[in-house]
Amino acid sequence: DAGVTQSPTHLIKTRGQQVTLRCSPKSGHDTVSWYQQALGQGPQFIFQYYEEEERQRGNFPDRFSGHQFPNYSSELNVNALLLGDSALYLCASSLLLNEQYFGPGTRLTVT
């Protein structure tokens, strides 16, 4: 049984560019959440998708947007990248409100 998968593993972008990160949930899961983790910090909640709609959003600007597809996979888009957006981006999947299982993350570096 495949766990949560994310792509790409690493990404280097220039300030002002746009980026799309992808996530496939664990088999049987219908909910996808995205988190940002800066070095030495705990993950910070960005938003959660369920039934192809954003169900809850954390304290992140509108530059961060997402999408969930009918097969439950998800994308995270970040526009107008800032240096401060450099972080490990984590996707987590769950079945309704049960425990969230995390993927390996995408390391984004903005130069």
Residues within the interface to other proteins (CB under 8 A): 4, 31, 33, 35, 40-45, 48, 55-56, 58, 88, 90, 92, 97, 99-105, 107
C-beta closer to other proteins: residue 42 or 84: 42
Cβ at position 23, least distance to other proteins in Å = 11
C-beta closer to other proteins: residue 86 or 102: 102
Contact status, residue 101 vs residue 2, Cβ threshold 8 Å: no
Among candidates 30, 61, 39, which has minimal Cα distance to 107? 39
Cβ at position 67, least distance to other proteins in Å = 17
Element (H, E) at 68: strand 64-68
Cβ at position 37, least distance to other proteins in Å = 9
Spatial distance between the Cα atoms of 65 and 60, rounded to a whole number of angstroms: 9
CA angle 33, 35, 41 (to 5 degrees): 150
